Structures are given as C-alpha cells and as structure tokens.
Amino acid sequence: MKVSVVLCTYTLDMYDHFREAADSVLAQTHDDVELVVIVDGTPEVYERVVDEYGDRDDIVIECNDENVGLLESRNRGAEIASGDVVAFIDDDAIADEGWVERLVRAYEEEDAIAAGGKMTPEWVAGKPSFLPEEFYWLIGVTHRGFADGPGEVRNTFGSNISFRADVFAELGGFDTDIGGRKGDANLQGGETELCARMREEYGRGVWYDPEAEVAHKVFEYRTEFRWLVDRAFWQGYSKRAMESFVDDESGEEDEFIQMLLTESAPRRLRNIVGSFPMVSLLQFFVLCLLTASVGLGYIFGIVRYST
C-alpha cells in the first residue's frame, strides 16, 4: 500500500523545523512512502526545498502562486498525491519512524477509511507545570481522556490524520472556507468538519491507533497562560460554529466536559485536600478557568450564529 504524506510549509523561519518533519517522513519503516511538499506561495522557501530535496524520486515539490492557507494547500497536495492513502503532517511535527506502518495496519487489518494516531508533546521551551493534561488539546497534543485505546473516534489532530485517497476525493477534501466563513478568521478545526461530513456520508469515523505517534513541537508562546485562555475561548466558539455547518451527533465534546466535571475536577480536588500541593492547586484553578473559557466561547458562538 502506497502512502502519500502531505507536508505544507510557507516561511523560512520554519525551515529547520520543516526539514526535521520531512526527514522523519523519509525515514519511515514502511517501504512505500511518497512525500508531497506544498510551499504556500513563498518562492524563497520553494527554491531552498528544491535545492535540498529536488533530486529524490520519493518527493514531489510544488509551490502555490500565492498564499492560499493550510487547508487549500493540503487539498492541492492530495490532488497531486499518487498514494492509496493520503496522510497529513505539519511542519512543526516529527513522525515516529513507525507512524506510517501503523496507519497502514489500520487500513489493512481494520478496513479503515481514515486513520490517525497520538500526538505527543515536544516541549521546545519547557513543560508548563500549571497546564493540566486534560487540556493538552489546546497545544495540539492528545489529551488525557481522549480515548481508552485503539478504536474509532470522530477525528484525530490534523497533523496526524489520513484518509483513503478515494474517500478524501469523494468528500471534496477540506472545506477551504473554514477559516473565512462569514468573514470569520477565528474558526478552527478543518479536520473536524471534514470528518463530520465523512460520518454523514459513510457512517464511519477515524480509526485511532495510539501507537501511530507524531510529536508536536510546543513553542514558548503556546505555553503562555494568556494564549491558552484565548485559545480555549476560540475553540469553544469554533465548536458552536461547526454545529451550524455540519450535523455532528458524535457528542465527543459533551463527553469530554462530563469527564472534566465528574472525574478530573473531583480527582484534582481530592489531591489538593489530601496534601495541598501548590502544583495541584494551580492545575485545578487552570482547569476550571479553561473550562469556563471554552464555555464562554461556545455561548459567544450561539449568539453569533443565531443572528
């Protein structure tokens, strides 16, 4: 089974990180991998990629005429790809060498139509002690409570997700209006919307294999408290917006909130009462604040999309 991995990039500032991502794809244990690089409208980056990788037969390199954004770049990469499966990874991520092999196993053994895996943190500026693992999804990392093990989920992160090429084409790829729907640049979750449409069309979700790992680099700005609160608000807002675009009845967010309220918060509260450690107290406070921020964003979305 041939797998095409689409990797999009656009700025020289990220080139060293892009190189690590590209090299991790090229070092996969699966023996039939094609790397499709889409440079999003930056000729200097395109020239550098061609100079370094242009002589390889297992790489396709294209450059958009102008900057069109991540989702449209991914769609172009999927159109160019020649694999039976099209997978996606970001230029701030590093794939485990067995990543593609595990994805292929999902297609061959589980008859999956889409497959993804676990995002692990690569702390660039150190791990923030105040951030509870239940909210790692804010930094693009698989959070505590996401799944108990292998099985079907609604979607995985966009930097560790794949589709049968014919399914992706039939669905029309990512909705490129997600970031600009109704002039709204704050919408997030292109893979969420696509997978919701996939469930409507095929009645199936994404096969999740926690051993199909991709490390996501967590840069310093993503560990700043203010950034995390802001991110939580817009994630809640995006959840409500997605509900107005696609009929998604999977209820994964509702289950997550229930888990926070009935399991995580009480457990952390017991830890505080038992020993009163400062870190536990801080994480409990942040968990409550981020939950409230998500809720406020959701309410804002209700108001915005009801007008």
Residue range 9-58, pLDDT digits in tens: 999 999 999 999 999 999 999 999 999 999 999 999 999 999 999 999 99
Q: Mean per-residue pLDDT for 119-134?
A: 94
d(CA 148, CA 198): 23
Report which secondary-structure segment, H or E, holds 213: strand 206-218
Measure the N-to-C terminal CA separation of the chain; round to a whole number of Å: 48
Sign of CA dihedral 258, 137, 147, 3: positive
Give the pLDDT of residue 183: 38
Return mean pLDDT, the chain.
88
More confident residue, 125 or 74: 74
pLDDT at 186 over 60: no
Sign of CA dihedral 202, 189, 143, 215: positive
pLDDT at 90 over 70: yes
Whether 140 and 195 have beta carbons less than 8 Å apart is answered as: no
Give the pLDDT of residue 249: 46
- Enumerate domains of the chain plus CATH numbers: 3-224 (3.90.550.10)
Whether 36 and 6 have beta carbons less than 8 Å apart is answered as: yes
Q: Mean per-residue pLDDT for 190-215?
A: 95
Give the pLDDT of residue 184: 46
Report which secondary-structure segment, H or E, holds 87: strand 85-89
d(CA 221, CA 141): 15
d(CA 122, CA 216): 5
Q: Mean per-residue pLDDT for 143-153?
A: 92
Give the pLDDT of residue 261: 55
Give the pLDDT of residue 305: 65
Q: Mean per-residue pLDDT for 80-89?
A: 98
CB count in 10 Å sphere of residue 300 = 17
DSSP string, 161-206: EEEEHHHHHHHTSS-TTTTTGGG-TT---HHHHHHHHHHHHHS--E
Highest mean pLDDT among 13-22, 192-201, 272-281, 286-295: 13-22
Least confidently predicted of 95-104, 134-143, 234-243: 234-243
> pLDDT above 90 covers what percent of the chain?
69
**Where does the pLDDT of residue 182 fall: very low under 50, low under 70, confident under 90, or very high at 90 and above?**
very low
Give the pLDDT of residue 101: 98
**pTM score, two decimals?**
0.87
**Where does the pLDDT of residue 262 fall: very low under 50, low under 70, confident under 90, or very high at 90 and above?**
low
